[in-house]
Amino acid sequence: MQNSWYIDYFGDDYYRFDHHEDTDLEVAGLEQLLGDPDQKTILDLGCGYGRHSKPLTALGYHVIGYDLSAALLKHARDQDHRVPRVRGDMQALPFHPSFDAVLSLFTTIGYFEDEEENFQVFRAISEVLRPGGRFICQLVNRDYLIRQFTPQEIHHQDELIILEERTFNPIDNRVHTQTTVMEGSTRRQYESVIRLYTVTELDLLLAAVDLSISEIYGGLDLRPFNWDTNQLVIVAEKMDYDKD
């Protein structure tokens, strides 16, 4: 792993400033995409502190959370002991091809500098899906980000002030973000570098690992996708070569 920004980024500060008011809406959309929870096993890849895995478990899905961050997994376990949590690298998933769905939510794809490493994540996802299983991926809409690019934002979260400074490289399609967390007189800085994908790129990459895109949305509320939606949600199915 050449680029390890995510080791520092996804820690206790991230848990404190990463808050969302749309989780219930997203879970409702996921429920529509996943269907009847009866006997469905779901892998929440990059589960973080369990923002989605906890409510999905409450709906009756058997969810396994998977993340590299020990700090976020601890927060997840503290909130809900019902959800099994596994710590590990998303390039090498230690599971058999038994999942009905793999979730990759809130841009947990494209973290590596090496394109082969990013591709290995797609390969690993495909390898743990059963034939006909679904890969549901929520990403930033690259076209929207370019058209509505915001180089600097300031957020207030309780006693924290969070400054985000961004640049975008159109050559390698990566967003570089410098995040400064200010708490009183203390300042802590974190970096993130995320590869963005077009629908065409995703279609080719997923096809190479036996995944076929079946649905495209502009968010987990299942709105139509266009260049004015800030999100890209794709649903891809694992090809079943034994099916008639």
pLDDT, mean of each 10-residue run, the chain (244 residues): 78 85 94 97 97 97 98 94 96 97 97 97 99 98 97 93 97 98 96 98 99 98 97 97 71
Q: What angle do CA 140, 145, 149 make, to 5 degrees?
A: 145
Terminal-residue alpha carbon distance, the chain: 41
Locate 178 and state its tokens. Answer: 């410098």
pLDDT of residue 125: 99
What residue ranges do the domains of the chain occupy? Answer: 5-141+198-238, 145-192
Q: Are the C-beta atoms of 16 and 157 separated by less than 8 Å?
A: yes
Look-up: residue for tokens 């999100």? 231
- Could you please state the CATH topology (level 3) that the domain comprising 145-192 is classified under: N-terminal domain of TfIIb (2.20.25)
Query: What 3-state DSSP class applies to 160?
Result: strand
Q: Is 106 exposed, middle or buried (0-12, 13-18, 19+ CB in 10 A)?
A: middle
pLDDT of residue 244: 56
> According to the CATH classification, is domain 5-141+198-238 in 3.40.50.150?
yes
pLDDT of residue 2: 45
Q: Which residues pair with 155 in a beta bridge?
A: 162
CA 119 → CA 18, 82, 110, distances in Å?
Answer: 27, 32, 9
**Distance from CA of residue 186 to its chain's centroid?**
30
pLDDT of residue 92: 95
pLDDT of residue 124: 99
